[in-house]
């Protein structure tokens, strides 16, 4: 699906390793999913978690946006809770809600649910990535995992939460339990990423989607060491992207977690993000997903602005500031890819 046969020489990997090509690479968080009619058609009658355990479905859903939009990377179709379900945690993805946990973590004994994960727990991941690497040719595949804080939030709250109140209360009120929980989640996330790299992923992204709910002090004390435990042992294998929403105050700390590329949401312009992050940084982002609903001239201007601001960093991977909203017209995404492809880095 790409001209160059070697994903290590793709625009994405080049940008992520400080060797930018002639134009910025572009992909979209949540590019595989509900904005695509072909995705909705394939998913009829199959639950989300079952889809994530079926290699043929994973392969096809991962390829759909690459074929349709000609994006510069595929993101592995899975979910951040897949490794938890794989080790036997009672968790489901409820349509219209998100991840829901049977027995939320409240006590030290609840940590027994969280044993370490290895490749044998997720054979469907290895199989699907093997298929994908063959199909994708020179187009890189991005593997991913949820970071300890974001996973912990679901496990402590029992499901999606706006204020993360139980999570923050546990973090401050039971710090030993908190650190025990995150240490186990770090092992699970790290090994889930390692399985994907071993199977052939060309880059990885650690999603700490909800880290922006924290102050810098809380992030540094309660979260950073655990995200480091995920990313640092994976140094030197493939580029590591680290992303969260609302993390303007946390960007420099997130880089310290061991990120080669820092994902930025739409709230901080990329030139300002590059300033906050310091020399030698590579950024990913950050078109406001809300603008996907706007008239094309508005989108055109905003895309060009993001590319322009991205030039302030040592490398830029074009993306949205968060995932593709399900109501997005997929043709708009295709058009954005064409526009980014016509713009020099
Ligand atoms: O039936 C469906 O289609 C369910 C919707 C859906 C999809 C398509 C969910 C439920 N997960 C996914 C796939 C998914 N999840 C991908 C691969 C697809 C791609 O990116 O192209 C990825 C990378 C994720 C990661 C994920 N899951 C994150 C981190 C990324 C982010 O958006 O911040 C998070 C926070 C989740 C939890 C989750 N899973 C699903 C939902 C609806 C949610 C969010 C719920 C909430 O608001 O807390």
The domain locations on the chain are 7-341
| Cβ–Cβ < 8 Å for 225, 189 | no
Q: Is 98 in the pocket of ligand 1 (CB under 6 A)?
A: yes
Which residues, in sequence order, are CB contacts of 334 under 8 Å at separation 6+? 68, 69, 70
The tens digit of pLDDT for each residue in 251-302 reads: 999 999 999 999 999 999 999 999 999 999 999 999 999 999 999 999 999 9
Q: Is 265 in the pocket of ligand 1 (CB under 6 A)?
A: no
For a pocket test of ligand 1, which of 51, 79, 156, 166 has the largest count of ligand atoms closer than 8 A to its C-beta? 79
Q: Is 29 in the pocket of ligand 1 (CB under 6 A)?
A: yes
Catalytic residues: 30, 34, 43, 79, 154
In the structure, what pLDDT confidence band is assigned to residue 344 with cuts at 50, 70 and 90? confident
In the structure, what pLDDT confidence band is assigned to residue 345 with cuts at 50, 70 and 90? confident
Q: Is 323 in the pocket of ligand 1 (CB under 6 A)?
A: yes
What is the per-residue pLDDT for 103? 96
Q: Is 93 in the pocket of ligand 1 (CB under 6 A)?
A: yes
DSSP string, 243-286: E-SS-TTTHHHHHHTT-SEEE--TTS-HHHHHHHH-TT-EEEEE
The tens digit of pLDDT for each residue in 103-148 reads: 999 999 999 999 999 999 999 999 999 999 999 999 999 999 999 9
Ligand 1 centre to CA of 304 (Å) is 28
User: Within 10 Å of residue 331's Cβ, how many Cβ atoms?
Assistant: 10
Protein residue closest via CA to atom 42 of ligand 1? 98
Ligand 1 centre to CA of 155 (Å) is 15
pLDDT value at 3 more than 50: no
Ligand 1 centre to CA of 41 (Å) is 18
Ligand 1 centre to CA of 310 (Å) is 26
Q: Is 95 in the pocket of ligand 1 (CB under 6 A)?
A: yes
pLDDT value at 4 more than 90: no
What is the per-residue pLDDT for 5? 86
Fold of 7-341: TIM Barrel (3.20.20)
Ligand 1 centre to CA of 274 (Å) is 27
As a whole number of Å, the end-to-end CA separation of the chain is 22
Strands, E assignment, the chain: 74-75, 91-94, 98-101, 141-146, 203-207, 240-243, 261-263, 282-287, 315-320
Q: Is 145 in the pocket of ligand 1 (CB under 6 A)?
A: no
**Percentage of residues of the chain with pLDDT beyond 90:** 98
Number of the ligand 1 atom closest to the C-alpha atom of 205: 23
For a pocket test of ligand 1, which of 33, 37, 101, 161 has the largest count of ligand atoms closer than 8 A to its C-beta? 33
Mean pLDDT of 100-104: 97
Protein residue closest via CA to atom 46 of ligand 1? 160
Mean pLDDT of 310-326: 97
pLDDT value at 2 more than 80: no
Task: Write down the mean pLDDT value for the chain.
Answer: 97
Q: Is 32 in the pocket of ligand 1 (CB under 6 A)?
A: yes
pLDDT value at 213 more than 90: yes
For a pocket test of ligand 1, which of 80, 192, 242 has the largest count of ligand atoms closer than 8 A to its C-beta? 80
Mean pLDDT of 12-18: 97
Mean pLDDT of 243-255: 98
Mean pLDDT of 194-200: 98
pLDDT value at 310 more than 50: yes
pLDDT value at 45 more than 60: yes
């Amino acid at each position: 699906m790409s001209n160059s046969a070697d994903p290590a020489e793709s625009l994405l990997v080049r940008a992520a390793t400080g060797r930018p090509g002639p134009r910025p690479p572009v992909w979209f968080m949540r590019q595989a999913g509900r904005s695509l009619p072909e995705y909705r058609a394939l998913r009829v009658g199959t639950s989300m978690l079952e889809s994530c355990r079926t290699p043929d479905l994973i392969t096809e859903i991962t390829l759909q946006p690459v074929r349709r939009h000609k994006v510069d990377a595929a993101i592995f179709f899975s979910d951040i809770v897949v490794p938890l379900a794989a080790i036997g945690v009672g968790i489901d993805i409820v349509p219209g809600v998100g991840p829901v946990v049977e027995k939320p973590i409240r006590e030290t004994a609840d940590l027994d649910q969280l044993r370490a994960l290895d490749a044998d727990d997720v054979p469907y991941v290895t199989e699907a990535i093997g298929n994908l690497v063959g199909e994708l040719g020179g187009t890189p595949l991005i593997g991913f995992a949820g970071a300890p804080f974001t996973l912990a939030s679901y496990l402590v709250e029992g499901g999606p939460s706006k204020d993360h109140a139980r999570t923050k209360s546990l973090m401050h009120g039971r710090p030993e339990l908190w650190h025990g929980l995150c240490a186990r989640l770090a092992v699970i996330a790290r090994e889930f990423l390692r399985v994907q790299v071993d199977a052939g992923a060309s880059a990885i992204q650690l999603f700490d989607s909800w880290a922006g709910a924290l102050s810098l002090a809380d992030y540094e004390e309660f979260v950073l060491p655990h995200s480091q435990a995920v990313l640092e042992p994976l140094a030197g294998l493939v580029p590591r992207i680290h992303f969260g929403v609302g993390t303007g105050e946390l960007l420099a700390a997130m880089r310290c977690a061991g990120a080669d590329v820092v994902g930025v949401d739409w709230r901080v312009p990329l030139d300002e993000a590059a300033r906050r992050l310091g020399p030698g940084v590579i950024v990913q982002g950050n078109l406001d997903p809300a603008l996907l609903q706007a008239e094309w001239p508005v989108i055109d201007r905003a895309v060009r602005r993001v590319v322009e601001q991205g030039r302030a960093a040592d490398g830029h991977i074009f993306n949205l500031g968060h995932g593709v909203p399900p109501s997005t017209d997929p043709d708009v995404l295709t058009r954005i890819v064409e526009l980014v492809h016509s713009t020099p880095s």
